[in-house]
Amino acid sequence: MSYEHDVDCCCGAIQVGQEVPDFELETYEPAKGDFGKFSLSEQKKLGKWTVLVFYPADFTFVCSTELADLADEYENLKAAGAEVVTVSTDTVFTHLAWKREEKFLENARYPMGADRTGQVSRMFGVYNEETGLDLRGTFIISPAGELVASEINFYNVGRNAKELLRKLQASVHVANNPDEACPARWEQGGKTLTPGPQMVGKVYDALK
């Protein structure tokens, strides 16, 4: 699939640190073999984190590998307290057909959201008005509805679900321990930093 158009994304996209407005998405639910609905407000009521994974289109190439990679980490992401929703501008019927036909998706169990109008995609600044396709955007939303992490890649660069898991776990850790910060390459159970005057110029020593 060729993507030769300039990207014209929504200028008013939500920024990290801002509250995400409530939204709903129609979904195909592979675990149930049925259609459903995802609601951010319901996630907040349940006290759960939300991970949104936008991608260009079903029945494409890099997307298949990304969703397979995500399937491998889905249970770990759920164990960290999150629900994962993949999102494109395809219909729920196309999601069902793609899941059925593409072997890379045979282990996918996460909800697959259908943003047919591009409304939610515009909210996060990943919608291409010329093509009607989404960029590869990944967003982590806290149980309070705050956007705490975002990543946007162009069409031809795939993402890493293990790094997504690491960022989610780090976000959960600092939410539960607000005086701490996670250094580069932090992994669950690793050393954290407690910023303060005593640590200025002494970060190396603090992590030894």
pLDDT in tens, 20-61: 999 999 999 999 999 999 999 999 999 999 999 999 999 999
pLDDT-wise least confident of 1-5, 99-103, 112-116, 188-192: 1-5
- In angstroms, rounded to a whole number, what is the distance separating the alpha carbons of residues 128 and 33? 30
Residue 168, CB half-sphere, CA atoms under 13 Å: how many? 29
Contact (Cβ atoms closer than 8 angstroms) between residue 141 and residue 48: no
Q: What are the boundaries of each domain within the chain?
A: 24-176, 179-208
- In angstroms, rounded to a whole number, what is the distance separating the alpha carbons of residues 198 and 179? 14
- In angstroms, rounded to a whole number, what is the distance separating the alpha carbons of residues 198 and 205? 11
Place of tokens 């919608």: 127
Superfamily of domain 24-176: Glutaredoxin (3.40.30.10)
- In angstroms, rounded to a whole number, what is the distance separating the alpha carbons of residues 131 and 174? 38
Report the helix count and the strand count for the chain, using DSSP H and E: 6, 7
Q: Given this model, what pLDDT does residue 12 score?
A: 65
The one catalytic residue in 9, 10, 11, 63 is 63
Tell me how far CA of residue 27 lies from CA of 103, 130, 158, 186, in angstroms.
Answer: 20, 24, 23, 33
For 127-150, how does the pLDDT look when each residue is reduced to its tens digit (9 = 90+)? 999 999 999 999 999 999 999 999
* Confidence class for position 10, pLDDT limits 50, 70, 90: very low
Structure token digits, residue 38:
């995802």
* Confidence class for position 1, pLDDT limits 50, 70, 90: very low
Q: Given this model, what pLDDT does residue 118 score?
A: 97
Average pLDDT over residues 151-179: 97
Quick one: three-class SS letters along 158-196?
Answer: CCCHHHHHHHHHHHHHHHHCCCCECCCCCCCCCCCECCC
Residue 63: active-site member: yes
pLDDT-wise least confident of 9-18, 67-76, 185-194: 9-18
Q: Given this model, what pLDDT does residue 148 score?
A: 98
Q: Given this model, what pLDDT does residue 187 score?
A: 95
At 142 the three-state DSSP class reads coil
Q: Given this model, what pLDDT does residue 3 score?
A: 34
Place of tokens 């259908």: 114
Q: Per-residue pLDDT for 171 more than 60?
A: yes
